[in-house]
Each structure stands twice: as structure tokens, then as C-alpha cells.
Structure 1
Amino acid sequence: MSILPAASRFLDREARLLERRLFAGDRAGVVRALRAHQNDDGGFGHGLEPDKRCPASLPIDAEVAFQALATVGAAGEDMVRAACDYLTTVTVDGAVPLASPVIEDYPRAAHWTDWTYVPGVNPTAGLAGLLHRLGVDHPWRAEASRYCWDVIESGELPDEAHALSEVLVFLAHVPDRERALAKAPAVIDQLSAHESFHPMPRPGEYGLTPLQIAPTADSPWRRFFTDEQIGAHLDHLAAGQQEDGGWAVTWEPPSEASRLEWRGMVTVQAVDTLRSYRRL
């Protein structure tokens, strides 16, 4: 099976419009697809992150939108600034939560519970980092960046793998490179020691891997992983393509529609990573 044609057929057959536009590298098309998920308050919702089927604006959906824009290099400044205006309304002491109790009125994955209502570096650091990557300035970005630096400088980072990976997104794109590169090794060491981090492939198990921390060959964090680790995960990633051309997910989404949406997302991500590491 040839990876690219099979992935393309899977996306044409099963994925939502956003992932098809991402796969095509269509900047304008990505912006148009995201507009359907943007609410009047400026935030994003309507299941843009597919694990909860909630129409209301949530910070996690803003992060998915920012990541999509960054992937194709489309700033989408007006929509991003509107999303920052929304984030300002849900910020507590510089940080935002992933979600809010409004998700309880809609189908959601089992892990989306009250822990997602607590403001923290997940997703604040990822949002701020993506805003730096997009080059979109806004008062919320400055406030969130100050919060992130305060947490990082305190040396009291949360012991949760996804939160640590969000901090690395921030450190990858914040302009103060000397300061960021000085702090990154401790964050990566803490993440690498976490039970949810997989230095080598663990087939069928959910967790973070070196390819999620360094999804492209030019990532500033690539140097923290050995060629053996990266190579093993690339082999595992390439072998993970399913018979239908897409990649599977290792958790239980709330519906079959959600599962297909996630499969479209991880398929685009898998192809982008394999292409960057010259495996296609």
C-alpha cells in the first residue's frame, strides 16, 4: 500500500472538510472551514476538538483552530484576534481551562470531566505558543505569556504529560530564545520520566511519544531524542496505517462520528510527520 494515495482516499471518503483542506495545504480553505466553528463571542466550538460534541466556545477548540492555521501558515488574524477576545473572558490569573461545565449537557469522552475546568498551562501555554508562532499580537498573548513564564521559572510544573508538552509548545515559539532554550531541558527531562511518555513504541497503548514532542525534523526538541528512538517511532507510525488508508486512535471517542473526525486529524498529522522526516 502506498501511504500517500491511500491516506488521500481515506480523507476524501471519511474526513471532515477541515482535514481535507489541511491535507491539500489550502490556506484559504482552512480559514473558511474554521469559520464554520467560530461563534459570535469569537471563540471556537461545535466539536472542533472532537472528544466533546458541545457547540459552545471552549479554549481547547481555540487551540485546535490555532494549530490548523499554523500548520498551513495562515495567520487568519481577524479570526485569531476574535478568539483572543473570547479567551480574555474565561481567563483567571492569566490562565484558561480546557473546557467548562457546559460540556456536561452534550456527549463527551469519559476523560472529559471536571479536571478540564481548572485553568493551567494546559492549554494556556499551547495557546500562547501558537499565537507567537502565528505572529498575532494581542493583550491576551502577553498576559498568558507572563503566566507561563511565572510557572516555568517557579520550577513547579504540573506532573502531567500533556501539560508538559504544552509548555514545550510555548518554549518552541516564544521570542526569548536564550531563555526558552535554557528552560527546555528540565521540562523534557520531567516529561521523559513520566509514565505516560513512551521513549520507544508501545503498540496499542495511549501516551505521548518523541514524535509528538518533535513532530517535524526541524523541531528544536529533536536533538533531545536519539536516532534509535525517532527511527523506531517512525517505523511504528508508518506501519500504523490501516487497511482503509487512515490511522487509528488509541482512546474511546464519544461517537462514531467523533472517531472518524479524530482519525482524519491523526492521519493528516501522521502524513505531515512522515513527510518531514523523509519517510515518504
Structure 2
Amino acid sequence: MADIAAVPLTPASPPRGTLARAERFVWLTARVLEQRLFAHHFRDGAAGPVETALEAYRNDDGGYGHALEPALRGPASLPAHTARALRVLDSVGRCDARRAEAVCRYLTSVSTTEGALTAIRPEAALPAVRPAGKGGGAVRLPGTLSATAPVVGLLHRNEVWHPWLFRATDFCWRAVESLEAALPGDVEAAVLFLDHAPERARAEAAAERLGRLVRRERLVVLDPDDPGAQPSSSGQAPGHAVGDRRFPQDYARTPDSLARAWFTDAEMERSLDVLAAGQQADGGWPVRRLPGAPESAPVALLEARPVATTQALRTLAAYGRSLA
């Protein structure tokens, strides 16, 4: 592993280059977990320290909490925190059956009878985990595709099998194949499921239909010069989301995604140009803020920006963009 302790935090002159500027931003602002992830992805850091940092967020019930997903504060386990934990483990090659067993037990305990998970809005996170009634059970809300599909997709990607996963997979298929007037977030989640779903011919057919829907319903920004595609003064993240729309790389996070076929090479290159240009003066990328979403606490925004920064770098690198 590179000697990250040797990286100066107060250089005589600001660092140049996309990666160097982002690195300084991460060392100055990120939590230990995001620092370890950055080191793993871009400085030959080992996977072990990432796992060690992630362990601090794990609860006895097998789920994760403690603001692992920065917008959701509080210590209690939530599906969104646990989904983030699985993404971290997957990104460092440690999402195997042994590690996923406890997570799946937790997911079983909080899913609906269909196997679906619940999405919690940031402002509802703390009330939603308080005991309800004398029985002390958590309030059970309807399951959603956006909360369930990314988790199911990751588990299939890592060839994890668990009784809960069968029900959850069936739920995802029904939800994906019935999407008509979809929201961009639902389509994003659907792609994360379809990219790794076990029935490949079925997944390809479903992805082709979703691609037509995305273009027909204008759920994607294809012309960055469109005035509606420009970042707003309120902190909208350029190259990630505009209004209720997304950019191509939000759907096709890697070139081998099924969603990559939805866009021409020219459309993808223009979109990646916008993403690259979104790096701010301090070296980091802004976080996505969707219309109608509540204002996040300053600490949540601060903790979320290194996450967004590492994701932007990984997307650019996946498409062969130079980070020098």
C-alpha cells in the first residue's frame, strides 16, 4: 500500500490534476471509511482496513446504522445503511456468502411478506425506527423497488443465496416488469438489479423496454447545453441529476451495464464531460439534491461529499477517462 501518510495536506501550491485535487479533498474532509475506500480504489490500499472501518457501523441485529448513509442520522439499523454496507463490501471484493449471512437475516426481519425493503426519507429516519405500540415492533411501511433492487442485485452479483433472496428477487421482477410511468430513481434501481439478475435473457428484454421508456418519458439529460441541465445555485450536482431526470452515467455506471446500450457514444461522452466538469474548487464533487427533498444537516452534506467524489472518480475511470 502507498504511504498515504506522506501526502501533504497543506502544500505550498494547490495540487493539480483531477485525482490529486480529489485526494486532498478526501483527506481533509472524509470519514475514516471513505478515506480507506479512496486509498483502496486509487492508492493500492488493502481491503482489510475498509472492512475494519465499516465494522464500526454494524449493529447486533446484523444491520448497519450510525449514519453510514450520511443523510440518515441515528444509530438504528435501516435498509439504506445496510445497502450502503453491501456496496462497500462489494467494491472491495468482500461481499461473500459468509459476510452476507448476517445481513440477510437482518433484511429478512425488516422486509415485507413479499421480501421487499422500505425506503426511508431523511426527515423520517428517526421516527420510523422508534417502537410502535406495546409490542415494541418497528413500524412496517410498504416495500419499494428503489430500496430493494440494488441490494438484490448486489447479492446476485456476488452469488449469495439466502431464503429471503428468493422472495425479494420475485418482488423485483414483478416491480421492474410493471414499470410504466417510472421515476428516475426506480429506473436506476431497476438497472442495478437487471445487471446481475440470474435470468439473463429476461433481464436483457426488461432493460431494452426500460431504455425506450427512459427516452420516451425524457427521464435523462441528453443535451448538456439544455438550460435545464445546468447546475443551480442551490448546490445541484452537475453531471448527476437535473430536476427529476438523470444523466446517462447515472443509469449506466459502468460500460458493461445493460443501460449502456440506451445511449450513443456521443451522448455518453457529452455526459461524462459534464460529470468531469462538476469537480469543485476544493477538489470534491457536490452531492445530489432532488427537488422537494428536505435540507440536509451541514454534517450530513459534509460526510456525503467524499462519497459522491469517490463515485464520480470511479465512474470516470470505468469509462477510461484520465484522472491526471
Q: 1:200 is matched with which residue?
A: 223
* 8 Å CA contact retained: 1:75, 1:135: no
- The answer to whether the aligner puts 1:139 opposite 2:177 as a matched pair is no
Contiguous gaps of at least 5 residues in structure 2 = 1-15, 41-45, 130-139, 232-241
Structure 1 residues 135-188: Cα deviation after superposition (integer angstroms, max 9, x where no partner): 2221111110011123334x3456221112111111100121111111111122
Q: 2:78 is matched with which residue?
A: 58
Q: How does 1:159-238 map to 2 (within 5 A)?
A: 159-194=182-217, 196-201=219-224, 202-204=229-231, 205-206=242-243, 207-238=245-276
Which amino acid in 1 is paired with 2:188? S
Distance 2:196 2:89 in 1: 15
Distance 2:61 2:268 in 1: 41
**Paired residue secondary structure (1:173):** coil
Which amino acid in 2 is paired with 1:72? V
Aligned residues: 270
Q: How does 1:1-80 map to 2 (within 5 A)?
A: 1-25=16-40, 26-75=46-95, 77-80=97-100
RMSD of aligned Cα (Å): 2.2
Distance 1:158 1:97 in 2: 20
Question: 1:197 Cα deviation (Å)?
Answer: 3.1
* 8 Å CA contact retained: 1:165, 1:191: no
Which amino acid in 2 is paired with 1:96? L
Distance 1:257 1:79 in 2: 30
- Bigger drift between 203-212 and 242-251 goes to 203-212
Which amino acid in 1 is paired with 2:55? R
- Percent identical pairs in the alignment equals 37
**1:221–1:3: structure 2 CA closer, same or farther, 3 Å change rule?**
same
Which amino acid in 2 is paired with 1:163? D
TM-score (norm 1): 0.88
Q: 2:321 is matched with which residue?
A: 279
* 8 Å CA contact retained: 1:158, 1:164: no
* 8 Å CA contact retained: 2:207, 2:258: no
Q: 1:109 is matched with which residue?
A: none
Distance 1:33 1:225 in 2: 37
**1:96–1:105: structure 2 CA closer, same or farther, 3 Å change rule?**
closer
* 8 Å CA contact retained: 1:46, 1:55: yes
* 8 Å CA contact retained: 2:194, 2:258: no
- The answer to whether the aligner puts 1:119 opposite 2:143 as a matched pair is yes
Which amino acid in 1 is paired with 2:49? G
Of structures 1 and 2, the one scoring higher in RCO (CA 8 A, sep 6+) is: 1
**1:102–1:6: structure 2 CA closer, same or farther, 3 Å change rule?**
closer
Based on CA coordinates, which of the two structures has the bigger radius of gyration?
2
* 8 Å CA contact retained: 1:161, 1:194: no
Question: 1:95 Cα deviation (Å)?
Answer: 0.8
Q: 1:112 is matched with which residue?
A: none
Which amino acid in 1 is paired with 2:313? V
Distance 2:96 2:35 in 1: 18
Q: 1:111 is matched with which residue?
A: none
- Bigger drift between 54-63 and 264-273 goes to 54-63
Structure 1 residues 176-225: Cα deviation after superposition (integer angstroms, max 9, x where no partner): 11111111111222233445532333121344221011112232321211
**Paired residue secondary structure (2:258):** coil
Distance 2:219 2:260 in 1: 19
**Paired residue secondary structure (1:221):** helix
